[in-house]
Amino acid sequence: MAKNQNVLKSIPTLTPALNKQRVKPRPFHKRIEQIIGYGFILPTVILLSMFVFYPFLQSVYLSFFMTDPLGNIVGFVGLQNYVDLFTSKEFLGSLKTTFLFAIFTVPTGIFISLLLAVLTHNKLKGMRIFQFIFALPIAMSVGTSSIIWLLLFNPTSGVLNYLLNLVGLESIQWLTDPNWALVSVSMMTIWLSLGLDYIILLAGLQAIPKELYESAKIDGAGSFRIFSKITIPMLSPTIFFVLIISVIQALQAFGQFNILTGGGPMKSTNVFVFSLYQEAFVNFQFGLGSTRAFVLFVIILLFTWIQFKFGEKKVHYQ
């Protein structure tokens, strides 16, 4: 190589070509490249193996075993845990409650955040303040929000019953009436997840090209027509995306149930993760708990797959 360079240098007309070749950086040494690559991902590989891959396999494994309260395996039971689970009234009830919870929270939450996004997507004065306010719940944790709402739901001195009484309605036992408890937790959850849904939908609105609106206006379309013929179709991938992540979040809800209702009254708010928590960390049935965990994984995988299958092509991430 060095020899060749000397030869080339001796021919004046070829020097520029040589320089040009030198502009292209030399590739890194192959073995060093391998070492650097593995070295850089090593911390993540170790952490994910320990805290995601291994526990995931262990969870599947445990779901076929009986365990003692310390988590030690007592005996192989095969599919018995799964048979027990799907014949358990408590579990089927909790599945039903979870889906009800998703039905209560997801469509209403998306409708409200869409309304807020549409109302604040314009150049009117003060919109940034409103945008900040509607994004606020994103900063709220499930812990502090639950405490606040626990006091708002208070049957004697809470503000919700005060407002009901003000308009002549009777007080509601928000968290202790089995007919109301799930609705109440749903109200609080809609509020809590409003910030996230709102931010995503507003970003989706902002990504719609302005030219579309302008040409529609020139064609004389009214604002309702513009909304139904341009905004909604253009926004539908984003709405679909919010729909799927909201369903998945509803399936994972735990904190608000643990603080507000403790799964009661009469198991009326015994949602999936709450019942998993009870089984594993109150009854210390880690095997049965893992069975629930695996079922949860399959259900969530199904929704992720739906998102992937039907949403991916159309969703433009900004």
**Positions in 201-220 near other proteins (CB under 8 A):** 203
- H helices of 207-314, in order, are 210-218, 223-226, 232-252, 255-260, 272-277, 286-306
Residue at token pair 């409200």? 112
SS3 1: coil
Residue among 174, 241, 257, 270 that touches other proteins (CB under 8 A)? 241
Length of the chain: 318
CA distance 44 to 46: 5
Residue 274: closest CA among 137, 197, 260: 260
Alpha carbon 34 to its chain's center: 35
Residue among 34, 88, 171, 283 that touches other proteins (CB under 8 A)? 34
Residue 238: closest CA among 114, 130, 102, 120: 114
Q: Residues 6 or more apart from 71 whose CB is under 8 A from it?
A: 286
Q: In this complex, which beta carbon is closest to other proteins, that of residue 4 or of residue 318?
A: 318
- Residue 255: both structure tokens together: 């904190």
Stretch binding other proteins (CB under 8 A), from 2-10, 20-28, 83-91, 177-185 = 20-28
Residue among 77, 138, 226, 239 that touches other proteins (CB under 8 A)? 138
Q: In this complex, which beta carbon is closest to other proteins, that of residue 182 or of residue 202?
A: 202
Shortest Å, Cβ 298 to other proteins: 10
- Give the single-character DSSP code of 27: P
Kindly identify the residues of this chain, within the stretch 167-196, that bind other proteins according to CB under 8 A: 191, 194, 196
Shortest Å, Cβ 173 to other proteins: 18
Kindly identify the residues of this chain, within the stretch 91-120, that bind other proteins according to CB under 8 A: 115-116, 119-120
Kindly identify the residues of this chain, within the stretch 253-292, that bind other proteins according to CB under 8 A: 254-255, 258-259, 273, 276-277, 280-281, 286, 289-290
Q: In this complex, which beta carbon is closest to other proteins, that of residue 7 or of residue 227?
A: 227
